Chain A
Amino acid sequence: MDATDRAIINRLQHGFPICEYPYRQVAAELDIDEQELINRLQTMLEDKRLSRFGPMYHAERMGGGLSLCAMSIPQNDFDEVVEKINAFPEVAHNYAREHSLNMWFVLATDTPERIQGVLQEIEESTGYPVYNMPKKQEFFIGLHFAL
Chain B
Amino acid sequence: MNVSYTNTPLDDLDRAIIQATQAGLPLTNRPYTAIAEKVGSTPAQVMEHMQKMQNQGIIRRIGAVPNHYVLGFRGNGMSVWDVPDERIQTCGEMVGALDFVSHAYHRPRHPPLWNYNLFAMVHGHDRDEVMQKVEKIAKLLGEDDRGHEVLFSTRILKKTGLRLPGGNS
Identify the A interface with B (CB < 8 A). Answer: 1, 8-9, 12-16, 18-24, 34-35, 38, 41-42, 44-45, 47-66, 68, 70, 82, 85-86, 89, 91-101, 103-105, 108-111, 131-147
Q: Is the CB of B123 within 8 A of A96?
A: no
- B residues 57-88 near A (Cβ < 8 Å) are 57-68, 70-71, 78, 88
CA distance A57 to B149 in the complex (A): 30
Prevailing SS type, chain B contact patch: mixed
Q: A48-B70, A95-B153, A101-B114 are in contact. Are A54 and B107 (CB under 8 A)?
A: no
Residues of B in contact with A (beta carbons under 8 Å apart): 1-3, 5-10, 18, 21, 23-25, 27-33, 43, 47, 50-51, 53-54, 56-68, 70-71, 78, 88-89, 92-93, 95-108, 110, 113-114, 119-120, 123, 149, 151-166
Tell me if A98 and B154 are in contact (CB < 8 A).
Answer: yes
- Give which listed residue, B56, B99, B152, B162, contacts A92 with CB less than 8 A: B162
**Which residues of chain B have C-beta atoms less than 8 A from A97's C-beta?**
78, 151-154
A111–B120 CA distance with the chains assembled, in angstroms: 26
A66 and B68 CA atoms in complex are apart in Å by: 23
11 contacts between A and B (CB under 8 A): A52-B24, A55-B62, A70-B114, A85-B158, A95-B155, A96-B156, A98-B151, A104-B78, A137-B106, A140-B1, A141-B1
- A16–B159 alpha-carbon span in the complex (Å): 26
Q: How far is the CA of A18 from the CA of B52 in the complex (A)?
A: 11
When A15-B63, A58-B60, A63-B166 are in contact, do A38 and B27 touch as well, CB less than 8 Å? yes
Return chain A residues, CB-CB under 8 Å to B99. Answer: 142, 144-146
By beta carbon, the residue of chain A nearest B28 is: A38
Q: Give CA–CA (A9, B99) in the complex, Å.
A: 14
Q: How many A-B residue pairs have CB under 8 A?
A: 263
Q: Find out whether the CB atom of A133 lies under 8 angstroms from the CB atom of B63.
A: no
A42 to B25, CA, bound (A): 11
**A135/B105 in contact, CB under 8 A:** yes
Pairwise interchain contact A45-B107, C-beta atoms closer than 8 A: no
Interface contact A103-B163, CB-CB below 8 Å? no
**Which B residues lie within 8 Å of A15 (CB)?**
61-63
Q: Take A92-B162, A138-B105, A142-B96 as given contacts and tell me if A48 and B67 are in contact as well, using a CB distance cutoff of 8 Å.
A: yes
The answer to whether B157 touches A86, judged by C-beta atoms less than 8 angstroms apart, is yes
